[in-house]
């Protein structure tokens, strides 16, 4: 009988322990920054630097490129290729769907170096050194504007993934990318009418398989609803966790039911054109309530060693219509 | 000390890997009381809806000592979730326990977001005196009735149903307590999101039984970084005649 009491006591202790706010059911084994704290930190950063995220372009036609689940380790060939493809095609921005690196400090050093190199190549392509001040750069398309290196934003926008969080990975991830919950507009001027219009890019923190209460409250408060008075042509959402499962044999976790329905409803409310997801390492394309959902395959060397169509490029045209296409990656993973 | 360590390891292992059917399992027909009715109240906190509460009621009729049919209803306020189901089951007695073959048809109305969900679940439950294991498949379809009209909806790929429960005493004892680990609850079936918790039942006068469970429902794969999503308590009474 005493054994029974021990079992009951142990079970109750385990339940109380794991239902605490700060402890995940496996938190004893793997600790990390919970979604509530990540969103609070991200939102503070977003509020502070909101205006710097805004992208204004003279033209009303542009492309952007999306990839995900790169799981960068010591062989960063695919990530390097994605950055090169975007620069070569004059894509306006990059979006990454999370699990950007496997969580080790050395992998994040590799990633950080890659992005710094890409930023230099980006500046080299779109900027000139300021003739009056060698520490500054002027836009080739608008030489009146002069910026310090640190003031130039390399247009690489990721969401955080579950693999970015293990072993306190948030500290590494947020040190480079700062915010996992943000939105920004791409403001365009209609070529024919001269009217100012915008497309909206929303990045959600879904790395934990749930949005968390703080993020849901902020969304319900309209934090991501954009600026008043701007007509949004398109809204694009980026989430690590996928909404739809590609097949019965995909056991990667999706959102719980209530959250699935909350999100599907919210995407309709935002009048989304495309929602991009990752996480499950399998391609899936479907439409629900007029919203296109694209779940991208993993572009990582380990999961997809052979060349393949791992990226997606979206083309937003001057008449407001959009098309998307898969983009081939040629890099073959190094043999170990 | 050895017993304590073993007990803790057992409880931790159960908590880490396993499930259960609500109310400590199905229990075989006792041969005398063909009708069962039960009701419970629930309360909890969910990430999306904050606090919620509600009630559920169900009825089972044992047609023979092998076949039974029934229906369930629930209302969860806060979530604005209203559900009903009908079921039919067959019991295959074994030398050690029973196997229950159950078929459910569920309808859920998530009114807060305008979603209608229909589920067909077929499961087999092996129930021994101390352990019950459930395996099955669910067909899940949902559609939204929003401002764009009724959508065509979406049918999920077949979803594996699995769960395990353990009791500390023989199932026929008047009171019991156990642990469960499962990817479903009374009215929903998930993919790789796992519920787990503790359950109990205790005797009441006049062929009634008190039962309840405390359910932790994390989000995210438990093999990755499961996060706090929902915690709830159920407390109910079962009566047969």
Of the two residues A13 and B103, the one the predictor is more confident about is B103
pLDDT range class, residue B11, cuts 50, 70, 90: very low
pLDDT at A140: 87
Among B residues 147-176, those touching chain A with beta carbons less than 8 Å apart: 147-148, 151, 154, 156-160, 168-169
**Minimal-distance CA residue of chain B relative to A218:** B48
**Residue A310 pLDDT > 60:** yes
pLDDT at B224: 56
For residue B10, tell me if it sits in a domain.
Answer: no
**Residue B212 pLDDT > 80:** yes
For residue B119, tell me if it sits in a domain.
Answer: yes
For residue B2, tell me if it sits in a domain.
Answer: no
pLDDT at B178: 93
**Residue A166 pLDDT > 90:** no
**Residue B74 pLDDT > 90:** yes
Question: What is the count of residue pairs from A and B with beta carbons less than 8 Å apart?
Answer: 182
The complex's ipTM works out to 0.86
Judge whether B217 and B228 are in contact, CB under 8 Å.
no
Residues of B in contact with A163 (CB under 8 A): 224
Of the two residues A46 and A52, the one the predictor is more confident about is A46
Mean of pLDDT values over A98-104: 89
Residues of B in contact with A15 (CB under 8 A): 15, 197-198, 214, 216
**Residue A197 pLDDT > 80:** yes
For residue B29, tell me if it sits in a domain.
Answer: no
Strands (E), chain A: 55-56, 62-67, 93-96, 127-129, 136-139, 146-148, 156-158, 182-189, 196-203, 232-239, 274-277, 284-288, 291-295, 308-316, 322-329
> Which one, of A9, A4, A1, lies nearest residue B168 by Cα?
A4
**Minimal-distance CA residue of chain A relative to B151:** A289
Mean of pLDDT values over A25-40: 67
pLDDT at B141: 96
- Give the number of other CB atoms < 10 A from CB of residue B201: 24
Q: What is the distance in angstroms between the Cα of A22 and the nearest Cα belonging to chain B?
A: 9
Of the two residues A118 and A4, the one the predictor is more confident about is A118
**Minimal-distance CA residue of chain B relative to A241:** B220
pLDDT at B10: 39
CATH code of the domain in which B145 resides: 2.40.160.40
> Which one, of A62, A69, A63, lies nearest residue A96 by Cα?
A69
**Residue A305 pLDDT > 70:** yes
Q: What is the distance in angstroms between the Cα of A194 and the nearest Cα belonging to chain B?
A: 31
Judge whether A281 and A242 are in contact, CB under 8 Å.
no
CA distance A30 to A25: 9
Residues of B in contact with A254 (CB under 8 A): 191-193
- CATH says A32-104+155-329 is which class? alpha beta
Q: What's the domain count of chain B?
A: 1
pLDDT range class, residue B233, cuts 50, 70, 90: very high
Range of the domain at B171: 36-240
**Residues B219, A213: C-beta atoms closer than 8 Å:** no
For residue B63, tell me if it sits in a domain.
Answer: yes
For residue B191, tell me if it sits in a domain.
Answer: yes
pTM: 0.88
Give first-to-last CA distance, chain A, whole Å.
56
Q: Which of B142, B197, B226 sits opposite A24 (nearest CB)?
A: B226
Of the two residues A123 and B17, the one the predictor is more confident about is A123
pLDDT at A134: 84
- Give the number of other CB atoms < 10 A from CB of residue A279: 29
**Residue A1 pLDDT > 70:** no
Question: In this structure, what DSSP letter does residue A31 have?
Answer: -
pLDDT at B34: 86
> Which one, of A74, A83, A65, A66, lies nearest residue A101 by Cα?
A74
SS3 B10: helix
Judge whether A63 and A90 are in contact, CB under 8 Å.
yes
Q: Could you tell me how far CA A77 lies from the centroid of its own chain? A: 20
Mean pLDDT across chain A: 86
The CA-CA-CA angle for residues B195, B190, B23, to 5°, reads 45
Q: What is the distance in angstroms between the Cα of B20 and the nearest Cα belonging to chain A?
A: 15
Q: What is the dihedral of CA A147, A86, A105, A72, to 10 degrees?
A: 180
Of the two residues B21 and B176, the one the predictor is more confident about is B176
| Interval B170-197: pLDDT, tens | 888 889 999 999 999 999 998 888 888 9
Q: Does B193 touch chain A (CB under 8 A)?
A: yes
Helix H segments across A127-256? 169-177, 212-220
């Amino acid at each position: 009988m005493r054994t029974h009491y021990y079992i009951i006591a142990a079970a109750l202790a385990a339940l109380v322990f794991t239902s605490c706010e700060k402890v995940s059911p496996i938190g004893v084994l793997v600790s990390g920054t919970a979604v509530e704290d990540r969103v609070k930190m991200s939102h503070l950063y977003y509020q502070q630097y909101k205006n710097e995220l805004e992208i204004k372009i003279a033209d009303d036609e542009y492309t952007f490129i999306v990839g995900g689940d790169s799981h960068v380790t010591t062989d960063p060939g695919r990530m390097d290729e994605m950055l090169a493809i975007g620069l070569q095609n004059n894509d306006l921005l990059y979006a990454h769907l999370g699990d950007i690196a496997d969580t080790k400090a050395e992998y994040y050093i590799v990633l950080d170096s890659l992005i710094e190199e890409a930023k230099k190549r980006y500046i080299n392509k779109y900027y000139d050194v300021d003739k009056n001040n060698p520490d500054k750069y002027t836009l080739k398309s608008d030489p009146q504007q002069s910026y310090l290196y640190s003031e130039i934003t390399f247009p690489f926008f990721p969401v955080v993934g579950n693999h970015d969080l293990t072993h306190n990975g948030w500290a590494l991830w947020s040190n480079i990318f700062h915010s996992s919950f943000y939105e920004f507009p791409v403001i365009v001027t209609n070529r024919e009418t001269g009217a100012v219009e915008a497309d909206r890019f929303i990045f959600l923190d879904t790395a934990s398989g749930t949005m968390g209460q703080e993020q849901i409250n902020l969304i319900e408060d309209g934090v991501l609803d954009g600026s008043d008075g701007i007509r949004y042509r398109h809204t694009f959402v980026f989430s690590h966790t996928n909404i739809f499962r590609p097949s019965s044999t995909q056991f990667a976790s999706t959102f719980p039911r209530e959250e699935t329905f909350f999100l599907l409803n919210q995407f309709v409310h935002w009048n989304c054109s495309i929602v991009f997801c990752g996480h499950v390492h399998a391609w899936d394309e479907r439409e629900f309530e007029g919203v296109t959902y694209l779940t991208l395959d993993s572009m990582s060397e380990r999961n997809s060693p052979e060349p393949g169509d791992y990226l997606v490029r979206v083309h937003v045209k001057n008449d407001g219509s959009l098309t998307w296409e898969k983009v081939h990656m040629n890099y073959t993973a190094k043999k170990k | 000390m050895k017993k304590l360590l073993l007990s803790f390891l057992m409880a931790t292992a159960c908590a880490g890997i396993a499930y259960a059917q609500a109310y400590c399992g199905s229990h075989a027909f006792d041969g005398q009381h063909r009708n069962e009715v039960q009701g419970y109240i629930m309360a909890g906190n969910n990430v999306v809806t904050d606090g919620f509460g509600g009630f559920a009621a169900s009825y089972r009729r044992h047609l023979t000592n092998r076949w039974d049919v029934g229906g369930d209803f629930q209302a969860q306020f806060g979530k604005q979730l209203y559900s009903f189901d009908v079921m039919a089951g067959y019991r295959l007695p074994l030398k050690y326990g029973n196997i229950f073959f159950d078929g459910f048809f569920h309808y859920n109305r998530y009114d807060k977001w305008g979603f209608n969900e229909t589920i067909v679940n077929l499961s087999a439950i092996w129930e021994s005196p101390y352990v019950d294991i459930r395996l099955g498949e669910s067909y899940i379809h949902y559609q939204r009735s929003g401002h764009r009209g009724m959508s065509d909806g979406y049918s999920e790929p077949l979803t594996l149903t699995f769960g395990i429960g353990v009791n500390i005493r023989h199932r026929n004892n008047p009171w019991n307590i156990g642990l469960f680990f499962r990817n479903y609850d009374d009215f929903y079936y998930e993919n790789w999101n796992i519920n787990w918790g503790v359950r109990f039942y205790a005797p009441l006068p006049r062929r009634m039984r008190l039962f309840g469970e405390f359910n932790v429902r994390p989000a995210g794969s438990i093999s990755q970084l499961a996060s706090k999503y929902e915690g709830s308590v159920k407390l109910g009474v079962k009566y047969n005649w």
